[in-house]
A = this chain, B = another copy of it.
């Protein structure tokens, strides 16, 4: 992957950007369409779209005067894969029950 896992997660960790992703979850939309639905200034919307783009979560394509955005399926897949590799319990994954190691000050073993 190109950029840091924490940054890619951070790209998603914002209310405006979550709203954008939610809209794009319905399919491709042009910026002007998003603009009507996400109450932020046009340049700010552009900024958030750039963060999502640099996080590898969306892709853009110019269409005449307009620019269309859509979710990047590969970007999301690789994000979840990286989280899984980092040990983060994803949907449906159980969390381990016991200790990772004997308790500190436990005479039965430490390190």
Q: How far is the CA of A100 from the CA of B31 in the complex (A)?
A: 12
Interface residue tally for chain A (C-beta within 8 Å): 54
Cα–Cα distance between A87 and B80 once the two chains are bound (Å): 15
* Residue A48 CB within 8 A of the other chain: no
Whether B63 lies near A103 (C-beta < 8 A) is: yes
On whether the beta carbons of B4 and A88 are closer than 8 Å, the reply is no
**CA of A64 to CA of B103, assembled, Å:** 11
- Contact partner of A80 among B12, B76, B91, B97, CB < 8 A? B91
Known: A101-B33, A104-B30, A104-B32. A14 touches B6 (CB 8 A): yes
Which of chain B's residues have a CB closer than 8 A to the CB of A33? Answer: 100-101, 104
